[in-house]
Amino acid sequence: MKISKGTIIRTIMLIIVIVNMILQHFGLDLIKVNENEIASLVEIVIELAVILVTFWKNNSFTDNAIKADEFLKTLKEDK
């Protein structure tokens, strides 16, 4: 079973809102954020994750990718 990213994000946001509501009920205002700030933070985290995954996938860091680069180089040299 795989939990979707959307479910994880909504759960985190729900926990933050519940904690904030409890703190406000007791007169503590430790989390001074609104929904827009939380959504913006989640968006930034997702964007950074996408950037890192894209960078990793498109460069030759794995053994197979390095071997493929070497194979491509030998093919180009044989021409």
Same domain, 19 and 41: no
- Are residues 54 and 78 both part of a single domain? yes
- Quote the pLDDT of residue 75: 92
Which pLDDT score is estimated for 71?
A: 92
Token pair for 19: 């904690």
pLDDT, one tens digit for every residue, the chain (79 residues) = 788 888 888 888 888 878 878 887 888 766 677 778 878 888 898 888 888 877 776 677 788 888 998 898 899 998 7
- Its domain, for residue 7, covers 1-32
Q: Are residues 18 and 8 in the same domain?
A: yes
Q: How confident is the model at residue 74, as a pLDDT?
A: 92
Number of structural domains the chain divides into: 2
Contacts by residues 60-69 (CB-CB < 8 Å, ≥ 24 positions apart): none
Q: What is this structure's pTM? A: 0.41
Asked if residue 39 and residue 63 are part of one domain, the reply reads yes
Orientation of helix 35-57 relative to helix 5-25, angle to 10°? 150
Burial class of residue 27 (count of CB atoms within 10 Å of its CB; 0-12, 13-18, 19+): exposed
* Residues 6 and 19 reside in one and the same domain: yes
